[in-house]
Amino acid sequence: MPHKLTKKNRSFLYTNDTNKAFLDIEKAFTYGLFLAHGDPQKLFDIEAYASNFALGSILSQEGDDGKVKPEAFHSRKFATIKINYEVHDQELLTLVDSFEQW
């Protein structure tokens, strides 16, 4: 877990596997495999998720190659009172919150 690296007196071992993972992530960002630029002339898809403690959403669009590619991500924890919302209200809040973010 990455958060364990922030603990005091915790060493980080940079191995060949670590380096390969880093290079794979760098390649995904560099060559556009991770996020795409939207085309305002095409339809967008929104996937919204709500759990008992957080919300998340993905804005995506079909690319010229026919593959759906992510455009943006959004997630956050619910405020304490919103944890008690009904599931359909949490999912609607996810959509509204995502539109405000994007």
CATH number at residue 42: 3.10.20.370
How many helices, marked H, and strands, marked E, lie in the chain? 2, 3
Which tens digits make up the pLDDT trace of 24-74? 888 877 676 566 788 899 999 999 999 888 999 999 999 888 888 888 899
Structural domain contains residue 5: no
Cα(98)–Cα(84) distance, rounded to whole angstroms?
Answer: 20
Q: What is the domain count for the chain?
A: 1
Which tens digits make up the pLDDT trace of 74-101? 999 988 888 888 888 999 999 999 999 9
Q: Which two tokens stand for residue 76?
A: 């956050």
Tell me the pTM.
Answer: 0.63
